[in-house]
């Protein structure tokens, strides 16, 4: 065999590997670091050394409902110094959030405020197959080398799900290549100083002002039948609350407000089942499902600017009460 | 194990290191063992199907050559091979009709069965002497680059190439790698990126109107071509690196001037197989006009059925048979403008055929045909874009069709070829999907 061809093959492979490494490390990684919620959150868990901190966990209802800065200010005025973080995730639910449990506990917050809603535990709504694979993939694929699952948590997932949640470093490296085009676009936008909507979401937790509009009757009335079974969401929620309590973290559960019209569609039996589950956790439980008037919503459960102000104050007051009265 | 999986290339690399170091006999044994291991990894116990076809046709070939009861052994080989093919391939069809038998399909069954049959036919027709070596023959039937999706090799071409020791030359390596990279780019960059669009439309076509059905059909025709041509390029390139030379399986089929020309350019190994072993033995065009048309239709219907046991393949085969008859029936004036019109009409009918090929539910097929043939609600903007695309297609025909890009790249000076390889490897890496998409023709 003549050498030049072989040399060309080896050199081309070598150069390609260098180009791939360079593009991944200098273009894709910084883009992901700047824009990916999960990467930022895991970094936040690992690197935030604040002693007096409170995490608010929930979905978009918590995202729109609770202003963390205003909560922190309220506590400060009442001589309680806490840094409050709203670690919401749109479409959050316990079965997905449980993947963060170990990191969350290791970062040692003083208080965790869970903001569940009825839909989380509705058997029909949150079955593991419902949009679950894309949700897991979107949320945890890029931190798959960091996730720590204990045996119980592992037992909640099937093999396909575990493969998504826990990738080795090589597979994670290959996985990142799908972000080449958005990361190049991001770089170009940055270079041209064009305002990019894909900003780091973790820095947006503090001040978000939502539009002042509402509807009288909710158009979206998702099924909320909560039967007395032991579905995977309930298992995950119970395990999370007990685990965090076991780690010495004070856990508060606040049931989020609902539009009155929507609340009427939920049966008393479902509400009782839900209430029993919350009490089963052994944590302080506050039911704010009818806290807001219909003028404070813009759909079945997302509240508007006025609702946000009122709810934030109420949540801050609950936290202050818990901090003052909770057993040390 | 398919060529869009990384393990395929690790095995190839391993073979490239070992093969130059060993003797001819060991090279053949080594290639055979590797082919079987790859087959077993992909297909588990269904390897018995491959062994059965190999042993049956090998011994039938020898018995046919001995001149006694030649027809009996030919029929035996045919019954054995086609019986098994039917059992595996068409039991699924019976299952659809309510008769449940067996629904597993040995990987590449249609390909290696046809290859083995070509060996028996060639001996029967006196065009080939049977080989004395079962190992060499077994390698021909199971040769790993081509077993899953072709091209369908002829024994005479293959067995002649292993008479001497396999030598891997730098020229073959360069050309072979060029073919592999081009094949991968066609598959990963074009076919796999069109796949989600096509699947979204044809998973439930009744949700869509004419525009989407037409665009979906166009996209599927392009996806199918790049997927299959990509596979063929990889297979031929792999074989070339290992010292084997096979003919190309595609020759710009969408530049075909008429239906006959299309079949001379599309899946050439299959169409020549059907021509040599079915159409010509049936009488070809030697037994009058009516018989010629009948032979064409029978051949193409069987071609359709070769793809699978569903109604749409049967209809697709018959449809192409009718197109071939129509082409013979209608005189085409030899003026450039007519030739262009006929070329465009040919492609229109070819893509209409792809619609039949893609939609395997009869109700959906009727709906799609209605949307395709009598389009409604077309966007004027898309119409202009389409017109532009067709004009570019006509103008670029000669330029593209008359250039052998593979040869051009494959014979570049190493320094330029190095630049090509860096670009190609990067394109392949960045376009390689996280989830591997199967080759369409690997399912046939």
User: Homologous superfamily of A38-325 in CATH?
Assistant: SGNH hydrolase (3.40.50.1110)
Residue B417 has pLDDT above 90, yes or no: yes
- CA B150 to CA B286: how far, in whole Å? 30
B176/chain A closest Cα distance in angstroms: 12
Query: Is the pLDDT higher at A192 or at A17?
Result: A17
Q: Report CB contact under 8 Å: A6, B170.
A: yes
Which B residues in the span 8-47 are in contact with A, Cβ-Cβ below 8 Å?
Answer: 20
B172/chain A closest Cα distance in angstroms: 10
User: In this predicted model, what pLDDT tens digit does every residue of A130-154 receive, in sequence order?
Assistant: 445 667 777 888 888 888 899 999 9
Residue B95 has pLDDT above 60, yes or no: no
**C-beta separation of B15 from B34 below 8 A:** yes
Question: What is the percentage of chain B residues whose pLDDT exceeds 70?
Answer: 94
Residue A211 has pLDDT above 50, yes or no: no
Interhelix angle for B109-124 vs B47-65, to 10°?
10
| Six token digits for residue A170 | 């090589």
Query: Which positions in chain B touch A8 (Cβ < 8 Å)?
Result: 174, 414-415, 417-418, 421
Query: Is the pLDDT higher at A193 or at A164?
Result: A164
Average pLDDT, chain B: 87
Least confident range from A32-46, A92-106, B224-238: namely: A32-46
- CA B368 to CA B362: how far, in whole Å? 10
Closest CB to A2: pick one of B170, B425, B429.
B170
- CA B268 to CA A200: how far, in whole Å? 54
Q: Report CB contact under 8 Å: A8, B417.
A: yes
Average pLDDT, chain A: 82
pLDDT of residue B431: 86
A187/chain B closest Cα distance in angstroms: 18
Closest CB to B421: pick one of A2, A12, A177.
A12
Residue A221 has pLDDT above 60, yes or no: no
Q: Is B435 on the interface with A (CB under 8 A)?
A: no
Chain B residue with CA closest to A137: the answer is B434
**C-beta separation of B393 from B227 below 8 A:** no
Instruction: Return the number of CB contacts < 8 Å for A and B.
Output: 51
Q: Write down how long chain B is.
A: 444
A178/chain B closest Cα distance in angstroms: 7
Q: Is A51 on the interface with B (CB under 8 A)?
A: no
Confidence of residue B92 (pLDDT cuts 50, 70, 90): low
pLDDT of residue A217: 44
ipTM score over 0.85, yes or no: no
Q: Which helix (H) or strand (E) holds A315?
A: helix A305-325
- CA B332 to CA B338: how far, in whole Å? 7
Q: What is the mean pLDDT of residues A85-113?
A: 90
Confidence of residue B233 (pLDDT cuts 50, 70, 90): very high
pLDDT of residue B392: 81
User: In this predicted model, what pLDDT tens digit does every residue of A15-74 receive, in sequence order?
Assistant: 999 999 999 999 999 888 888 888 888 888 888 888 889 999 998 889 888 988 899 999
Confidence of residue B204 (pLDDT cuts 50, 70, 90): confident
Which B residues in the span 118-147 are in contact with A, Cβ-Cβ below 8 Å?
Answer: none
Q: What is the mean pLDDT of residues B353-367?
A: 91
Query: Is the pLDDT higher at A274 or at A204?
Result: A274
Strand ordering across the sheet containing A83-86: A83-86, A53-58, A111-115, A250-255, A284-287
Chain B residue with CA closest to A24: the answer is B430
Closest CB to B170: pick one of A1, A20, A174.
A1
**C-beta separation of B148 from B439 below 8 A:** yes
Q: Report CB contact under 8 Å: A175, B434.
A: yes
Question: What is the percentage of chain A residues whose pLDDT exceeds 70?
Answer: 84
Which A residues in the span 152-211 are in contact with B, Cβ-Cβ below 8 Å?
Answer: 174-175, 177-178, 180
Residue A203 has pLDDT above 50, yes or no: no
Least confident range from A36-45, A71-80, B75-84, B214-223: namely: A36-45
B207/chain A closest Cα distance in angstroms: 22
Chain B residue with CA closest to A9: the answer is B418
Closest CB to A5: pick one of B173, B422, B432.
B173
């Amino acid at each position: 065999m003549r050498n030049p061809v072989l040399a060309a093959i080896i050199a081309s492979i070598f150069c390609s590997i260098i180009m791939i490494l360079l593009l991944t490390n200098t273009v894709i990684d910084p883009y992901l670091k700047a824009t990916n919620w999960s990467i930022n959150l895991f970094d936040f868990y690992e690197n935030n050394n604040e002693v007096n901190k409170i995490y608010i966990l929930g979905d978009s209802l918590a995202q729109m409902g609770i202003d963390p800065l205003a909560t922190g200010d309220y506590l400060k005025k009442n001589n309680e110094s806490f840094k409050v973080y709203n670690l919401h995730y749109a479409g959050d639910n316990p079965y997905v959030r449980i993947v963060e449990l170990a990191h969350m506990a290791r970062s040692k917050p003083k208080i965790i405020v869970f903001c569940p809603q009825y839909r989380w535990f509705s058997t029909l709504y949150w079955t593991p197959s419902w949009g679950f694979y894309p949700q897991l993939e979107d949320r945890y694929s890029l931190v798959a080398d960091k996730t720590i699952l204990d045996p119980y948590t592992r037992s909640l997932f099937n093999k396909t799900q575990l493969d998504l949640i826990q990738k080795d470093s090589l597979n994670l490296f290959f996985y990142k290549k799908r972000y080449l085009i958005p990361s190049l676009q991001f770089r170009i936008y940055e270079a041209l100083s064009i305002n990019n909507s894909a900003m780091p979401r973790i820095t947006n937790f503090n001040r978000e002002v939502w539009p002042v509009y509402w509807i009288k009757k909710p158009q979206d009335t998702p099924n909320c039948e909560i039967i007395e079974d032991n579905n995977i969401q309930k298992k995950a929620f119970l395990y999370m609350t007990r685990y965090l309590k076991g780690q010495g973290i004070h856990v508060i559960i606040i049931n989020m407000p609902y539009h009155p019209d929507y609340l009427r569609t939920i049966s008393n039996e479902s509400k009782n089942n839900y209430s029993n589950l919350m009490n089963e956790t052994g944590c302080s439980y506050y039911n704010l499902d009818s806290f807001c008037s219909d003028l404070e919503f813009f759909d079945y459960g997302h509240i508007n600017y006025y609702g946000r102000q009122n709810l934030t104050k109420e949540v801050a007051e609950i936290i202050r009460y818990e901090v003052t009265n909770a057993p040390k | 194990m398919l060529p869009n999986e990384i393990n395929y290339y690790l095995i190839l690399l391993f073979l490239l290191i070992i093969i130059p170091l060993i003797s001819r006999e060991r090279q053949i044994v080594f290639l055979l063992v590797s082919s079987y291991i790859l087959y077993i990894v992909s297909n588990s116990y269904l390897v018995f199907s491959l062994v059965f076809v190999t042993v049956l046709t090998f011994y039938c070939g020898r018995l046919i050559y001995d001149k006694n009861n030649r027809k009996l052994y030919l029929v035996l080989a045919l019954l054995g091979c086609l019986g098994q093919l039917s059992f595996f391939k068409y039991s699924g069809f019976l299952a659809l009709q309510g008769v449940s038998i067996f629904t597993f399909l040995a990987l590449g069954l249609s390909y290696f069965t046809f290859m083995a049959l070509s060996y028996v036919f060639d001996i029967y027709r006196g065009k080939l002497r049977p080989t004395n070596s079962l190992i060499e023959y077994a390698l021909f039937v199971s040769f790993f680059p081509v077993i899953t999706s072709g091209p369908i090799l002829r024994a005479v071409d293959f067995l002649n190439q292993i008479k001497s020791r396999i030598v891997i030359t730098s020229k073959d390596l360069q050309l072979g790698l060029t073919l592999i990279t081009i094949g991968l780019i066609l598959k990963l960059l074009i076919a796999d990126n069109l796949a989600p669009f096509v699947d979204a439309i044809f998973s439930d076509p009744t949700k869509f109107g004419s525009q989407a059905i037409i665009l979906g059909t166009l996209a599927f025709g392009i996806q199918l071509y790049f997927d299959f041509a990509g596979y063929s390029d990889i297979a031929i390139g792999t074989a070339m690196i290992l010292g084997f030379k096979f003919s190309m399986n595609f020759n710009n089929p969408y530049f075909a001037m008429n239906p006959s020309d299309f079949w001379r350019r599309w899946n050439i190994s299959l169409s020549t197989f059907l021509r040599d072993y079915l159409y010509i033995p049936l009488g070809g065009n030697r037994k009058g006009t009516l018989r010629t048309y009948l032979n064409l239709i029978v051949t193409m219907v069987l071609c359709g059925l070769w793809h699978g046991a569903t109604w749409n393949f049967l209809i697709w085969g018959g449809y192409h048979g009718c197109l071939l008859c129509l082409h013979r029936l209608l005189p085409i004036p030899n003026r450039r403008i007519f030739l262009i019109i006929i070329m465009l009409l040919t492609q229109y009918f070819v893509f209409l055929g792809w619609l039949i090929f893609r939609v395997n539910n009869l109700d959906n097929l009727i709906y799609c045909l209605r949307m395709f043939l009598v389009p409604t609600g077309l966007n004027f903007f898309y119409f202009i874009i389409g017109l532009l695309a067709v004009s570019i297609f006509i103008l670029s025909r000669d330029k593209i069709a008359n250039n052998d890009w593979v040869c051009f790249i494959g014979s570049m000076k190493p320094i330029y070829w190095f630049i090509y390889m860096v670009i190609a490897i990067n394109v392949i890496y960045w376009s390689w999907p996280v989830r591997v998409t199967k080759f369409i023709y690997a399912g046939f």
